[in-house]
Structure 1
């Protein structure tokens, strides 16, 4: 109980809130040429050092650690960190971070990663903790905003990896031949042919209103339809619901066509749209709900889906993100596979990570981490119900919309406390 007693004393006897305010000002003060502003910054820096010295003097054996914890973590975050340290007796040695609605949020950060969050990520980098950005976005998009936010040096340092398109590829600059791994190239030819077929037809054969209301995300492999309306809006929800039904029908047709080419299906006896709708409705209640709302409930059940067709469906994922995207991807390529690839290139053999995310694709990584005792899961309060259920049942690391920094501050405190052990 000694560490808990010390933390109680730290937050009871010292004004940690004011200390954090000085630390945040010093860390996040924008670069300016004004002499007066720079003098103000220097005064704040001096006051920060003086307040930290008081803590250092009060705790002879742990003062440096406690001064840094008080300067960055709230009382609640510090005690959560100590609870985690007591439970796991390990520090976090790699971060796995989703971007959209996790690091940034359309409803909480104007869809930009906050400066506070970026600075905290820089602190992890300076402490030698690699960062794995794990997202459904395209590689070029992610590279662009990560360079803009963290700087070219960090992104190309060799300690940052990007798992893009929800696991179809991994990009880790500075690692020679392993810098870019195209994981989709390892898929069987029949599966790749199905994706090629869907991609070549998805816009050209779409109904006029769908073609005007959606665009195809510039993926290397996944087929992702995005709305030409603001994400989360009524128009976006309507067009993505329609896109989901359309993609299901197109996928069913592509699967049957591929089997017919191989002589394993008779197109004249096939019912591809109904089979796809029945199969994926059975797999995902959200998809079933959209089909019901769109008047697209299948007239058959999964028992009616031929085994050869079901075998291919089992390898292909259809994902629905309400008012955001309808996507076809490979179940053999997901964020877990991508994260494993990133860990391999980064040389992380004994991972203990914090996985931060909000969607089903992030949940797969959280469950993989939990099953293998590889770390923790954290989620924003608006994450999907299944994600929140998992996070609450494990370590209850739920943070407010747009406030990913809350968890990063907790983990920084955890790492400092773990080093004391």
Structure 2
């Protein structure tokens, strides 16, 4: 009998909703000092085992089918079956953004839900490495990761943290490769540009902009965030203003760094116009903002000197509507960080689940897609570019704060690979 028919029978003939409720209760039962509560938990655990045994006795691979029924809804299981039929393999690493992906300020009070954390421990116990991939600092990520998953799991040798959007990789338990500082490979010219921009970004900002934004990021990722609610009209105004300011500041910094190599005068607004022309051509959103702010480039992209263009090619300008404007090194990005993490974790033939919501996560998704190295998922409030990619691949879009539903699908996908 084919897997489809067996799974159809599983959900038709057994009370899988009850089985799943019992499993969730047993897994997530809070620690309490109560004999009555403990008795209730033990009764639920006994009933869970009885119901699992009933499933196990009805299928040749009964233990696997019982686990599937206890972990996922019918829809989740058949989505997993479609994925496994398409790719023919299991997921051998998780690559997970955190903010607005595993947790959500609008739905989970900025905490990773307990069911999500428990599922991550289940993947870990099944031998699936976990790569946390975030723009946050290492100290922040280590703190909430240890708090949520436990010190033993984080230091098990199967967890890696790609932090500050790819600036570094931290993989406890791996000796000399435990901490990799990827920025050490950048050359002096790129370092000079970022040093120039960072030293001037707030001190030289116009008063109205400086009073309306704050600085995030690191030495090689410079991000302007609004001092207003993200998504609001005031946030849109200051971020659009900030984008134009960052593009111009970057142009001046590149012109200064290459002053002795250009052979042309880059003073005044010339270098700024090169940056506007280059980044407008590279990103339609940037082009729109520049045009709306009266800062459309006066030269064509082809007019940008090759030496300048080659340096722009290594520096990213990103715009997030009413949220952030940033520049960052394209050599220090999440895909490079993820590849470095997977190397340390000894994942030789990766097929990963990538979960994220932003353009930096999109680059990891595109790498996985281009290399046939995984699948992508995103929350429904992710950036439109991310949603476009996810919908065009496997349509793995989940509700805000409900990363657990997607993790259940992939968990069942891996169980199906055992059949």
Q: Does 1:369 align with 2:341?
A: no
The alignment yields a C-alpha RMSD, in angstroms, of 1.8
* Paired residues of 2:194 and 2:219 also in contact (CA < 8 A): no
How far does residue 403 in structure 1 lie from its aligned partner after superposition? Answer: 1.2
- Give how far 1:264 is off: 4.9
Q: Distance in 1 between matches of 2:148 and 2:230?
A: 22
Q: Which residue of 2 aligns with 1:160?
A: 159
Q: Is the contact between residue 195 and residue 219 of structure 2 (CA under 8 Å) also seen in structure 1?
A: no
Q: C-alpha distance in 1, partners of 2:219/2:303?
A: 33
- Report the Cα distance in structure 2 between the residues aligned to 1:236 and 1:152, rounded to whole angstroms: 38
Q: How many residues align?
A: 419
Aligned to 2:117: 118
- Local SS of the residue matching 1:100: coil
- Judged with a 3 Å threshold, the aligned counterparts in structure 2 of structure 1 residues 299 and 402 are, in CA distance, closer, same or farther, namely same
Question: Cα offset for 1:269?
Answer: 6.8
Alpha-carbon offset, residue 13 of structure 1: 0.8
What secondary structure sits across from 1:319 in the alignment? Answer: strand
How far off is 1:390 after superposition?
2.3
Residue 97 (structure 2) aligns with: 98
Q: Describe the superposition over 1:225-265 as per-residue Cα deviations: whole angstroms up to 9, x where unpaired.
A: 22233333333332222221111111011000101155655
Q: Which residue of 1 aligns with 2:402?
A: 403
* 1:394-420 C-alpha deviation (Å, 9 max, x unpaired): 222221222111110011111111012
The equivalent of 1:418 in structure 2 is 417
Q: Between 266-275 and 244-253, report the one with greater CA deviation.
A: 266-275
Give the alignment of 1:101-250 within 5 angstroms: 101-250=100-249
Q: Give the distance between the partners of 2:44 and 2:263, measured in 1 at CA.
A: 74
Structure 2 CA distance, aligned partners of 1:268 and 1:204? Answer: 20
* Unpaired runs of at least 5, structure 1: none
User: So what's the TM-score if we normalise by structure 2?
Assistant: 0.95
> Where in structure 2 are the equivalents of 1:9-408 lying within 5 Å?
9-59=9-59, 61-261=60-260, 264-268=263-267, 271-408=270-407
What is the rounded CA distance, in whole Å, between the counterparts of 2:127 and 2:47 in structure 1? 28
Segments of 4+ moved more than 4 angstroms: 261-265
Query: Is the 2:193–2:254 Cα contact (8 Å) retained in structure 1?
Result: yes
* C-alpha contact (below 8 Å) 1:240/1:325 kept by paired residues: yes
* 8 Å CA contact 1:256, 1:270 repeated in 2: no
Helix, strand or coil at the partner of 1:297: coil
350-359 vs 215-224, which moves further: 215-224
Specify the SS of the correspondent of 2:192.
helix
Deviates more, 1:236-245 or 1:122-131: 236-245
Deviates more, 1:317-326 or 1:408-417: 317-326
Aligned-partner Cα distance in 1 for 2:106–2:56: 40
Instruction: Work out whether residues 377 and 397 of structure 2, in 8 Å CA contact, stay in contact via their aligned partners in 1.
Output: yes
Question: Secondary structure in 1 aligned to 2:100?
Answer: coil
Output one character per residue of 1:184-239: Cα deviation in whole Å (capped at 9) or x when no partner.
11011101110011111111111223222222225242112222333333333322
Cα deviation, residue 360, structure 1:
2.1
Secondary structure at 1:366 match in 2: helix
8 Å contact from structure 1 (residues 264, 308) kept in 2: no
Supply the distance in 1 between the matched residues of 2:367 and 2:213 (Cα, whole angstroms): 33
Q: Is the partner of 1:267 in helix, strand or coil?
A: coil
1:276-330 CA distances to partner (integer Å, 9 max, x unpaired)?
1221111111112222333322233313322222221111001112232211111
User: Does the aligned pair in 2 maintain the 1:259–1:265 contact within 8 Å?
Assistant: no
Alpha-carbon displacement from aligned partner over 1:148-185 (angstroms, at most 9, x marks no partner): 22122222222111112221211111212211111111
Would the aligned equivalents of 1:169 and 1:180 in 2 still touch at CA under 8 Å? yes
Task: Please tell me whether the aligned partners of residues 231 and 323 of structure 1 are also in contact (alpha carbons under 8 angstroms).
Answer: yes
Contact 2:10-2:65 at 8 Å conserved across structures: yes
User: Cα–Cα, structure 1 residues 230 and 153, in superposed 2: closer, same or farther, change >3 Å?
Assistant: farther
- Distance between the aligned counterparts of 1:139 and 1:240, measured in 2? 26
